[in-house]
Homo-oligomer: A and B are copies of this chain.
Amino acid sequence: MKKIIFTVAVSFICLISFAQFAGIQGGQKPEPLPEGFKPSACNTFLSQYPAVNSQTREALFRVNAPTARLVQVDLAGKRYNMKRDERGVWTCITDPQVVGFHYYSIWIDSVPVMDRNTQAYFGSNWESSGIEIPEGPEGDYYRFNKNIPHGQIRSIYYWSEINGLERHCNVYVPAEYESNPQKRYPVLYLLHGWGEDEDGWMNQGHMGNIMDGLIATGKAVPMIVVMDCGDIKTNPDVRSASTNDVTQIYVKDLIPFIDKTFRTKTDRMNRAMAGLSRGGMQTTMTVFNNPDKFAWLGTFSGFFMGGFGMRSGDKAPSMSQLIETAFNGVFKDPSAFDKQFRLLFISTGTEERSPKEQVEALKAHGIKNIVYHESQGTAHEWLTWRRALNDFAPRLFK
Q: Using a CB–CB distance below 8 Å, which chain A residues touch chain B?
A: 1-2, 4-14, 16-17, 20-21, 24, 38-41, 43-46, 48, 63-70, 106, 108-114, 116-120, 122, 124-127, 144, 146, 150, 152-157, 159, 166, 170, 181, 194-195, 202, 208, 231, 233-237, 239, 241, 245, 278, 281-282, 285, 305-306, 308-309, 317, 321, 325-329
A131 CB to closest chain B CB (Å) equals 12
Q: In the bound complex, do residue B67 and residue A309 qualify as a contact, i.e. CB atoms below 8 Å apart?
A: no
A20-B124, A24-B126, A114-B127 known; 10 new pairs, CB 8 Å cut-off, are A5-B325, A6-B285, A12-B309, A13-B194, A39-B239, A67-B110, A111-B113, A152-B156, A153-B154, A153-B155
Q: Is the CB of B113 within 8 A of A236?
A: no
A9–B120 contact, CB under 8 A?
no
Contact of A281 among B9, B21, B40, B245 (CB under 8 A): B9
Question: Contacts A24-B125, A65-B110, A236-B41; is A2 near B155 (CB within 8 Å)?
Answer: no
Complex alpha-carbon distance, A208 and B45, angstroms: 26
Bound Cα distance from A93 to B327, whole angstroms = 50
Which residue of B43, B146, B153, B282 contacts A166 across the interface (Cβ within 8 Å)? B146
Closest B residue, CB atoms, query A309: B8
Asked whether A321 and B1 contact (CB < 8 A) given A6-B328, A152-B155, the answer is yes
CB distance from A100 to the nearest CB of B (A): 15
- In the assembled complex, the Cα of A13 lies from the Cα of B24 at a distance in Å of 39
**Chain B residue with the shortest CB-CB distance to A282:** B13
How many whole Å from A169's CB to the nearest CB in chain B?
Answer: 11
Q: Is A146 a contact of B125 with CB atoms below 8 Å?
A: no
Shortest CB distance A197–B (Å) = 9
* Contact in complex: A39, B111 (CB < 8 Å): no
Contact B5 A326 (CB under 8 A): yes
Closest to A121 in B: B120
Q: Is the CB of B159 within 8 A of A146?
A: yes
Given contacts A20-B195, A116-B114, contact A8 B308 (CB under 8 A): yes
Instruction: Please state if A241 and B17 are interface contacts (CB–CB under 8 Å).
Output: yes
